[in-house]
């Protein structure tokens, strides 16, 4: 049975292995350059909270320069977001649907192996390969993105979905979902589409749920401080997941929910008659109005709590779907 | 001896309304080559799929070799099934299929399999998708017999084959039957094939059994009578009219009786299996379910 599973799965497995090798080779080449540039640009001291030690550029300039270097980031960034969806559509959905569509279950299910065992081995072998592949890719991407993570943290939705446990849970869920819809729909192409659509919907739904699973931190600091010292706790928002940034005045009126207030708005609020714009003290005006930013952020130390939550949600859904698929194949087909 | 297939009140409904098989009660004896005949849509395939556990009954029950179909690996090993159009994996080679059979069936006999493949002259490396219809059917039959089942069930095994391939297929089947003492149940709407290989007959129509019995007994019990026109109600009580047709002066009857025909006014002719089956399948004259003992 394991041989048959492997024999039927051989071609898609080899295609996936080839793609994996290409991706790993690409990461190996660009990743070591990335790490090297990170060090030579002096960004490691920026990440440690000091000013840049190389040249005259500020840390912000260096970061922008570094991030701008790498179109590879845009290429590799979303890779692991797609992999579970592809596993669900191309490995999960056809698993049962293709047999039913071609009528070959009339061959497979009359051998001396029960349907339950047939399904159990297929799900276990291909599911394990899918999760293993995702894990390998996730480890590689985590290493590769090390410099970016040190600059930006790993809490942003894109980074969060590619680190730690959650990619594995996504892959397990997508695969189980594909198998289940394939068993119900009986046709390969519609099942693939449904598996893809269903996975994307659930992912979006859980991503919406994610910031609601833990209490976000609310940080407040004066708006016009960019020239002065970093306010305490400001760094927490740097590597965290910023949910919203609002600018309020002392009365609590929201002036902006984008994090920046246009200069002319501030000037108008101060009721100054501006004869000479160059002499206008924007900072003083801001202090007078009591302008402050309120940032709602999920701090980076919640990373593993959220990872555990999300892995449990998707892992649980995957188990439910596997149970459903067994029930459906045993009881409802035929 | 347990029956090969024993069905009581068996019914299968698809969706909410369409009954493919309804209230089917029959007993197929073991140790025979049984032909299951009927028009397209008569419920033959449904009955056989129920017997191998690919379908689940909506009503009634079915036992195969005395046990529920596909109840476990042991029961699965006792029954082989060749589905209509001989489903195989198109991308897998002949050798792959043999390996599949060997891996999935503890009773697998490699000798039987390799022997048959050699005699058929099949190229082991050829993908099943590139085999001819006849070769596919033969490969499917090879998988089924090398499993060494007690009961071999075939659903329209030869109906899509050309006459030569069909003859070879049936010859291969009969060889396997002779070698392994198999019980065979095959469905077909090709009465010629059934006549050639089967010694027991079950006629299904509209999901119900119209006629069942050993071919020899059935033929001996039916008589085709031709004589001057007369009222069929005045026949002896032991004679049951299956089919009657009249012209101006003449009456032709298909009669079923266990007793000899004594009336000298009749000219008696032998009944062919085909005429017999067609008489039971013709809807306007279809009599009540008939059984012949034995």
Q: Which of the four pLDDT bands, split at 50, 70 and 90, describes residue A226?
A: very low
Distance CA B157, CA A321 (A): 37
Total residue length of chain A: 334
Cβ pair B106:A112 closer than 8 A: yes
Cross-strand pairs, A128: none
CB A173 within 8 A of CB A84: yes
Q: What is the mean pLDDT of chain B?
A: 88
Q: Which residue of B has its CA nearest to A11?
A: B91
Q: What is the mean pLDDT of chain A?
A: 85
* Of residues A272 and A191, more confidently modeled: A191
Cβ pair A112:B147 closer than 8 A: yes
Interhelix angle B163-180/B133-146, rounded to 10 degrees, is 10
- Say whether pTM exceeds 0.90: no
Q: Give domain limits for chain B.
A: 5-206, 217-288
pLDDT in tens, A111-157: 999 999 999 999 999 999 999 999 999 999 999 888 888 877 888 88
Inform me whether the C-beta atom of residue B66 falls under 8 Å from chain A C-beta atoms. no
Report which of A254, A84, A225 is spatially closest to residue A166, judged by C-alpha positions.
A84
Cβ pair B147:A103 closer than 8 A: no
Cβ pair A107:B87 closer than 8 A: yes
- Which residues in chain A (60-99) have CB-CB distances under 8 A to chain B? none
Distance CA B169, CA B142 (A): 11
CA count, 13 A, side-chain hemisphere, B283: 4
Residue A242: its H or E element: strand A241-248
Which residue in B68, B87, B128 has the most chain A C-beta atoms within 10 A of its own C-beta, making it the best mutation to test that interface? B87
Lowest mean pLDDT across A23-37, A226-240, B7-21: A226-240
Cβ pair B76:A106 closer than 8 A: no
CB A242 within 8 A of CB A297: yes
Taking the alpha carbons of A280, A283, A287, A292 in that order, is the dihedral positive or negative? positive
Residues of chain A neighbouring B73 (CB-CB closer than 8 A): 112-114, 117
Q: How many of the other CB atoms lie within 10 Å of CB of A14?
A: 10
Inform me whether the C-beta atom of residue A10 falls under 8 Å from chain B C-beta atoms. no
Taking the alpha carbons of B69, B71, B73, B75 in that order, is the dihedral positive or negative? negative
pLDDT of A230 strictly over 60: no
Top mean pLDDT of B141-150, B176-185, B189-198, B279-288 is at B141-150
Distance CA B126, CA B90 (A): 10
pLDDT, mean of residues B259-273: 85
pLDDT of B291 strictly over 60: no
Q: Which of the four pLDDT bands, split at 50, 70 and 90, describes residue B292?
A: very low
Distance CA B114, CA B119 (A): 8
Distance CA B228, CA B246 (A): 9
Distance CA A331, CA B246 (A): 53
pLDDT, mean of residues A172-190: 97
Distance CA A249, CA A256 (A): 10
Lowest mean pLDDT across A24-38, A63-77, A298-312, B229-243: A63-77
> What percent of chain A shows pLDDT beyond 70?
84
Distance CA B47, CA B153 (A): 11
pLDDT of B71 strictly over 60: yes
pLDDT in tens, A266-283: 777 776 555 556 666 777
Tokens of B31: 């140790």
pLDDT at A227: 42
Inform me whether the C-beta atom of residue B106 falls under 8 Å from chain A C-beta atoms. yes
Q: Which of A8, A112, A115 sits opposite B77 (nearest CB)?
A: A112
Q: Which of the four pLDDT bands, split at 50, 70 and 90, describes residue A244?
A: confident
CB B226 within 8 A of CB B269: yes
pLDDT of A203 strictly over 60: yes
pLDDT of B156 strictly over 80: yes
* Of residues B123 and A62, more confidently modeled: B123
pLDDT in tens, B206-261: 767 888 899 999 988 998 889 888 887 778 888 888 888 888 889 888 888 888 88
Taking the alpha carbons of A138, A143, A148, A152 in that order, is the dihedral positive or negative? positive
Angle at A74 between CA A71 and CA A80, to 5 degrees: 140
pLDDT of B150 strictly over 50: yes
CA B191 to chain centre: 10
Cross-strand pairs, B269: B224
**Any idea which residue has 């440690």 for tokens?**
A48
| Pairing status of strand B5-14 against strand B59-64 | antiparallel
Report which of B31, B137, B169, B122 is spatially closest to residue A107, judged by C-alpha positions.
B137
Which residue in A100, A106, A331 has the most chain B C-beta atoms within 10 A of its own C-beta, making it the best mutation to test that interface? A106
Inform me whether the C-beta atom of residue B48 falls under 8 Å from chain A C-beta atoms. no
Residues of chain B neighbouring A8 (CB-CB closer than 8 A): 89, 91-92
CA distances from residue A330 to A59, A111, A118, B100, B202 in whole angstroms, order as listed: 61, 15, 11, 22, 30
Lowest mean pLDDT across A267-281, A303-317, B83-97: A267-281
> What percent of chain A shows pLDDT beyond 90?
46
Which residue in A15, A99, A104, A111 has the most chain B C-beta atoms within 10 A of its own C-beta, making it the best mutation to test that interface? A111
Interhelix angle B163-180/B110-120, rounded to 10 degrees, is 150
pLDDT of B289 strictly over 60: no
First to last CA, chain A: 22
pLDDT, mean of residues B34-45: 87
Residue B33: its H or E element: strand B33-37
Cβ pair A109:B80 closer than 8 A: no
> What percent of chain B shows pLDDT beyond 90?
50
Distance CA A236, CA A297 (A): 8
CA distances from residue A162 to A74, A81, A287, A318, B288 in whole angstroms, order as listed: 14, 7, 42, 18, 71
pLDDT of A236 strictly over 90: no
**Any idea which residue has 């994610």 for tokens?**
A210
CATH number of B5-206: 3.40.50.300
CA distances from residue A110 to A296, B49, B291 in whole angstroms, order as listed: 60, 10, 31
Interhelix angle A79-86/A166-185, rounded to 10 degrees, is 30
């Amino acid at each position: 049975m394991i041989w048959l599973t492997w024999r039927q799965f051989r071609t898609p497995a080899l295609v996936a292995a080839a793609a994996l090798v290409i991706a790993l080779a690409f990461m190996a080449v660009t990743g070591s350059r990335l790490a090297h540039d990170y060090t030579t640009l002096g960004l490691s001291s920026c990440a440690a909270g000091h000013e840049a030690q190389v040249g005259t550029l500020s840390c912000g300039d260096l970061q922008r320069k570094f991030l701008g270097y790498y179109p590879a980031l845009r290429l590799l960034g979303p890779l692991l977001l797609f992999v579970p969806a592809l596993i669900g559509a191309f490995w999960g959905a056809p698993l049962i649907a293709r047999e039913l569509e071609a009528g070959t279950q009339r061959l497979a299910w009359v051998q001396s192996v029960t349907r339950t065992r047939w399904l159990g081995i297929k799900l276990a072998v291909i599911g394990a390969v899918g999760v293993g592949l995702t894990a390998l890719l996730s480890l590689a991407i985590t290493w590769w993105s090390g410099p970016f993570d040190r600059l930006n943290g790993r809490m942003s939705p894109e980074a969060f979905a590619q680190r730690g446990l959650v990619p594995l849970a996504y892959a397990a869920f997508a695969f189980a979902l594909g198998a289940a819809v394939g068993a119900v729909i009986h046709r390969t192409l519609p099942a693939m589409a449904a598996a893809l659509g269903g996975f994307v919907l659930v992912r979006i739904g859980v991503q919406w749920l994610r910031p609601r699973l833990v209490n976000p931190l609310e940080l407040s600091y004066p708006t016009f401080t960019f020239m002065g010292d970093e306010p305490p706790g400001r760094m927490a928002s740097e590597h965290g997941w910023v949910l919203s940034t609002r600018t309020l005045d002392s009365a609590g009126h929201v002036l902006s929910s984008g994090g920046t207030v246009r200069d002319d708005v501030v000037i108008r609020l101060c009721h100054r008659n501006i004869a000479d714009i160059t002499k206008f003290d924007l900072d003083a005006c801001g202090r007078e109005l009591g302008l402050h930013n309120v940032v709602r952020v999920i701090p980076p130390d919640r990373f593993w709590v959220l990872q555990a939550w999300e892995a449990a949600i998707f892992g649980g859904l995957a188990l439910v779907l596997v149970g459903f698929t067994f029930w459906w194949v045993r009881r409802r087909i035929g | 001896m347990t029956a090969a297939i024993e069905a009581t009140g068996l019914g299968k409904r698809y969706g909410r309304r369409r009954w493919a098989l309804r209230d089917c009660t029959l007993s197929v004896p073991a140790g025979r080559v049984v032909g299951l005949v009927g028009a397209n849509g008569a419920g033959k395939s449904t009955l056989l799929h129920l017997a191998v556990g690919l379908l689940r009954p909506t009503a009634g029950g079915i036992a195969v070799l005395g046990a529920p179909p596909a109840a476990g690996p042991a029961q699965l090993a006792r029954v082989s099934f060749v589905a209509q159009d001989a489903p195989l994996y198109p991308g897998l080679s002949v050798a792959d299929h043999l390996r599949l059979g060997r891996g999935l069936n503890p009773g697998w006999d490699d000798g039987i399999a390799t022997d048959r493949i050699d005699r058929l002259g099949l190229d082991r490396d050829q993908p099943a998708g590139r085999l001819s219809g006849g070769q596919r059917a033969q490969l499917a039959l090879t998988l089924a017999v090398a499993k060494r089942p007690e009961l071999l069930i075939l659903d329209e095994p030869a109906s899509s084959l050309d006459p030569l391939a069909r003859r070879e297929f049936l010859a291969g089947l009969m060889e396997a039957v002779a070698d392994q003492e198999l019980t065979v149940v095959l469905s077909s709407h090709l009465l010629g094939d059934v006549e050639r290989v089967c010694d027991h007959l079950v006629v299904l129509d509209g999901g119900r059994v119209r006629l069942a019995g050993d071919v020899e007994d059935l033929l001996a019990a039916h008589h085709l009578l031709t004589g001057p026109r007369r009222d069929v109600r005045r026949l002896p009580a032991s004679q049951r009219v299956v089919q009657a047709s009249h012209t101006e002066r003449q009456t032709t009857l298909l009669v079923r009786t266990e007793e000899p025909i004594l009336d000298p006014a009749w000219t008696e002719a032998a009944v062919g299996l085909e005429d017999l089956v067609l008489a039971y399948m013709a809807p306007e004259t279809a009599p009540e379910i008939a059984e012949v003992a034995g």
